[in-house]
Amino acid sequence: MFDILIEIVLPFILSALVVVVVTVIAEKYGTKTGGILGTLPTTIIIAFAFIALKQDVDFASNAVAVVPAEMGVNLVFLCVFAILAFRSTILALTGSFIVWIGLTLVLYFWNLQNIYISLIIFTVAMVSTFLILEKKYKIESIGKKAVHYTPSKIILRGVLTGVIISIAVMLSNFGEVLSGIFTVFPAILTSTMLITIHEHGPKFSAGMAKSMILGCWSVMSYAAIIHFSYPAYGILWGSVIAYVAAVIVTIVILKLKNKIS
């Protein structure tokens, strides 16, 4: 019963709430704030706490080493989706997932467990994808969007993300690298992109993607810190220390968001 609660119920509820709040914020206050807040650590907290409880903190620490690199793969996913979205949603979804699967398989067979190499991969991916959207494709952030929120619209958003995250968490129990990879499966990124492109078009969706690329520093910082804080301080305090750091990173990014075109 406890396993079902942690693996399915809690990830479902949390991720559903996150995607609803993020898309509402984006529509109310624009893609800059929504995209950045949307990358705060959420499901990764439950996922790694569960992995540490089921295995041990050392297993969780080793599993999280690949996360920054996999987050870099997710940024490439966002970049490809944003570029292809101007052609068609199906092409954007298909193309971005083909790239994601290919790069993820490279990390899996590489069996990457070095946190420092992982951080380098993330940094290169973040800088590259942001500059591609900012400089090459001139993607601009979009302002407020007035939307009438119906119960069915909100429920659909939550269920879509909740189902994807629950599946991802259930699959994150098979080996350290595979566990790390599936904890950051781009479920919220995918559902957010699909919702925004459906309701506001590719321009808004691309603007959201650009902000989420910048905002992903918060999840990356959380992952990098629990790699060290879990073995040193345990699950509870290791998570608290990492989350506080991630929030600080998010605040700094929000302070700098006005510099994003």
- The C-alpha atoms of residue 261 and residue 212 are separated, in whole angstroms, by 14
Look over the chain and give the mean of its residue pLDDT values, rounded to a whole number.
82
78-92, 168-182, 197-211: the lowest-pLDDT one = 168-182
The residue ranking higher by pLDDT, 44 or 101, is: 101
pLDDT at 38: 60
The residue ranking higher by pLDDT, 230 or 6, is: 230
DSSP secondary structure string for all residues of 8-55: IIHHHHHHHHHHHHHHHHHHHH-HHHHHHHTTSS-HHHHHHHHHHHHS
49-53, 76-80, 115-119, 205-209: the lowest-pLDDT one = 49-53
pLDDT at 225: 96
- Does pLDDT of 22 surpass 60? yes
Q: If we measure between CA atoms, which residue out of 212, 209, 210, 222 comes closest to residue 248? A: 222
DSSP class of 168: H
pLDDT at 27: 61
pLDDT digits (tens, 9 = 90+) for 28-86: 666 566 656 666 787 788 778 877 877 789 988 999 999 999 999 999 999 999 999 99
Q: If we measure between CA atoms, which residue out of 102, 91, 96, 92 comes closest to residue 77? A: 96
pLDDT at 260: 54
- Average pLDDT rounded to a whole number, residues 217-229: 93
The residue ranking higher by pLDDT, 253 or 221, is: 221
Q: What is the pTM of this model?
A: 0.84
- Does pLDDT of 121 surpass 60? yes
CB distance 257 to 32 below 8 Å: yes
CB distance 15 to 165 below 8 Å: yes
- Does pLDDT of 186 surpass 60? yes
- Average pLDDT rounded to a whole number, residues 4-33: 66
- Does pLDDT of 167 surpass 80? no
